[in-house]
Amino acid sequence: MGTILAQSLLGGRRPIPTGTLAPMSEEKLCPPSPTFAPQLVLGVMLFDEPPTVDAVIDTVTSVPGDLGITAGEVAGRDGIVEVTVGKTGVTAFLSVIDEPVPGGEAVGNAHQLYCQGEEKDRVAAHQAQLLIAVPAEFTEDASAQISGLSAREIQLVANRIHGILTMAMTRLPGVAGYYSGAAAATYGPTFLAQVAEGHFGSTPWPLWVSARLHPGEQGFSAYTTGLWALGHPELQVDNAPMPPEDLFLYLMDTSAHLVLDGGTFADGQTTGRYEGERFTLGAEPWIVDPNVPALRVRM
């Protein structure tokens, strides 16, 4: 039952391509203009061996604070725990699956920086998973809390609840990594521990947005994955005139501004992180999926 749920929620998401990016056209492309709507937040904690349902329930109900978390196994659904967050009116589901993520999808999306070497090998060898699913839906009692919020703000509330549950699950023994469906990236235990310890603040946004870099003859090209799942256009760069580490930091700094500060960008806008840094943005389709909006950063 748990495997069926996992496959249906993941939707057979394809791995991000690993080859060199095709150059982005200088010709003005017609960007898509879909309307963003809050959506399910999904992630998978990877384990060396499956945690027990009792351990999952004990861990999630031990989250500190006044969130009013209660949890129990769903009747007739082995391995599925229903979690209610009373303060926000959100219901989440934690599903223990005693099988690895199928098709090598988790290791195939190993983060270029945060899941390499022995940690990547551990991800490849994982034997179980815990699916963490948080629908962006709220009970009627909690509706007043989200009244007047934009779709993007409602999504961030759901993501923050997902982040709280994800960070709690890192306390279970045998964690081999974390696979983020939205970011299409798998993170190793070391980085996961840093996020859980608050190195990036109380909102674990690095688990929701990733940046992929690819070398070319004239420089590095790159794109983000995960911003659109939070209501922001993805970012992409072609042949950046900066070292790859600086390009990575630029994309992550800019993503943090969008997610944490509620920043917005527009087609044709000029932006930068500090005095003297000025890049022009151009709206176009995302290089991975033309149905997703993106902003090309012209450096």
Q: What type of residue sits at position 23?
A: P
Angle 289-294-299 (CA atoms, 0-180°, nearest 5)? 125
Range in 65-79, 108-122, 145-159, 163-177 the model is least confident about: 145-159
What's residue 16's pLDDT? 35
Q: What is the mean pLDDT of residues 166-175?
A: 97
What's residue 139's pLDDT? 77
Nearest to 235 by CA among 10, 24, 9: 24
What's residue 2's pLDDT? 38
177-212 pLDDT per residue, tens: 999 989 999 999 999 999 999 998 889 999 999 999
- CB contact at 8 A, 83 and 96: no
Give the sign of the dihedral formed by CA 10, CA 222, CA 162, CA 173: positive
Point out which residues pair with 294 in neighbouring strands: 234, 284
Q: What is the mean pLDDT of residues 280-299?
A: 96
SS3 251: helix
Helix locations, 83-150, DSSP H: 105-108, 118-124, 143-146
> Whole-angstrom Cα distance, residue 25 to residue 122?
39
What's residue 9's pLDDT? 33
Q: Both tokens of residue 27?
A: 């010709």
Q: How far is CA 178 from the centre of its chain?
A: 10
- Whether 48 has a pLDDT exceeding 70, the answer reads yes
**Where are the chain's structural domains?**
25-201, 210-298
Give the single-character DSSP code of 255. H
Parallel/antiparallel/unpaired status of strands 69-73 and 41-47: unpaired
Q: What is the mean pLDDT of residues 221-242?
A: 96
What's residue 264's pLDDT? 94
What's residue 147's pLDDT? 75
Share of the chain above pLDDT 70, in %: 88
Q: Both tokens of residue 246?
A: 């600086």
- What is the DSSP track for 158-223? HHHHHHHHHHHHTTSTTEEEEEETTTTEEE-HHHHHHHHTTTT-SS-GGGT-EEEEEEETTEEEEE
Nearest to 151 by CA among 263, 82, 84, 232: 232
- Whether 291 has a pLDDT exceeding 70, the answer reads yes
